[in-house]
């Protein structure tokens, strides 16, 4: 895989690199990062040729967007693609508190999928990012807000797209059923599916991926390490943001053993696996340091013999 190849999102003019950087970690996910390390991480991605970056207001309660904006606002705007998310507003005393963010802020998220909330969220993100537009805007976690997402959020995003304020309309979730329902509205150019098309969980292949391929909707695969287990399978590793069950750890260790037999790091197989499906346009890897950026680029470019995929299939690990 060439991680720096530029590919089109749906039928839009937005182009992303095959490997994109997920910026939740530079918002202080699980442990503090600080401005200097966040800036260095973004700079490393740029120097290595990555040109797709994904953020959200949720990530560090605004910190990830602010830090990304400090670096990216100084870059030529037409040379990179950026996605952010809507559906949460950052307010003092917001109800959507999450203990996973380690750096304190004065605001926390509150869900708002109204048309006005979507427009406000977008403008506030642009202010934090110091940019005049985002290329892709994802509806973020509308799990408990589906009616409003369809009747208010999507029309608001479609209006922004028609006005040239954004390039592509998308939705990002950790589940596949509702993403498929959103694809069927005909409004989406892409979906960001997190953790549901990996070496350990291929549930996106049941319905979502075939539907997106048929409709010409690009799939952005996130959470390819399932929040950590596929990066370093060991006791205490996380799977979907919680300590991994023994059965999942065992499966990850089997994957690792097969990869080792072929001289391939498990991380390389985890990053490249989703791109074997024709519906998947690019893969997002979360990074928090220049070393992690360099590793992601190296793993994405590592040659993988076809026999490795055959062995994973023979063990029933992939379809």
Phi and psi dihedrals of 200, rounded to 5? -110, -15
CB contact at 8 A, 193 and 211: no
CA 158, chain centre distance (Å): 21
Catalytic residue chosen out of the listed positions 30, 52, 59, 241: 59
CB contact at 8 A, 3 and 17: yes
241: annotated active-site residue? no
Task: Write the CA distances from 146 to 97, 122, 178, 182, 307, integer angstroms.
Answer: 21, 19, 8, 9, 42
CB contact at 8 A, 41 and 48: no
Q: Which of 40, 26, 50, 103 is nearest to 71 (CA)?
A: 40
Contacts of 262 (CB under 8 A, 6+ apart): 304, 305, 307, 308, 311
Q: Which residues are catalytic, by number?
A: 59
């Amino acid at each position: 895989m060439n991680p720096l190849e530029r590919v089109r999102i749906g039928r839009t003019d937005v182009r992303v690199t095959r490997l994109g950087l997920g910026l939740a970690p530079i918002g202080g996910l699980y442990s503090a990062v600080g401005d200097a390390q966040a800036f260095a991480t973004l700079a490393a991605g740029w120097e290595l040729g990555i040109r797709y970056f994904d953020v959200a207001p949720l990530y560090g309660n605004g910190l990830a967007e602010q830090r990304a904006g400090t670096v990216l606002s100084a870059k030529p705007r037409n040379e990179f693609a950026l996605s952010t998310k809507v559906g949460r507003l950052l307010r003092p005393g917001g109800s959507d508190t999450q203990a996973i963010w380690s750096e304190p802020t004065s605001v926390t998220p509150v869900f708002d999928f109204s048309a006005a909330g979507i427009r406000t969220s977008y403008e506030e993100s642009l202010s934090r990012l110091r940019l005049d537009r985002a290329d892709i805007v994802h509806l973020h976690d509308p799990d408990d807000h589906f009616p409003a997402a369809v009747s208010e959020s999507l029309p608001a995003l479609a209006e922004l797209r028609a006005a040239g304020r954004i390039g592509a309309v998308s939705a990002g979730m950790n589940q596949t059923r509702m993403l498929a329902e959103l694809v069927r509205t005909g409004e989406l150019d892409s979906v960001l599916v997190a953790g549901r098309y990996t070496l350990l969980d291929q549930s996106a292949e049941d319905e979502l991926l075939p539907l997106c391929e048929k409709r010409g909707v690009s799939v952005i695969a996130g959470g390819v390490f399932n929040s950590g287990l596929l990066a370093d399978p060991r006791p205490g590793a996380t799977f979907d943001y919680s300590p991994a069950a023994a059965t999942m750890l065992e499966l990850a260790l089997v994957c690792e053993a097969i990869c080792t037999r072929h001289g391939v790091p498990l991380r390389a197989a985890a990053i490249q696996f989703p791109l074997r499906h024709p519906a998947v346009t690019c893969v997002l890897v979360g990074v928090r340091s220049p070393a992690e950026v360099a590793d992601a680029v190296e793993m994405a470019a590592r040659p993988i013999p076809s026999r490795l995929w055959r062995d994973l299939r023979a063990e029933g690990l992939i379809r």
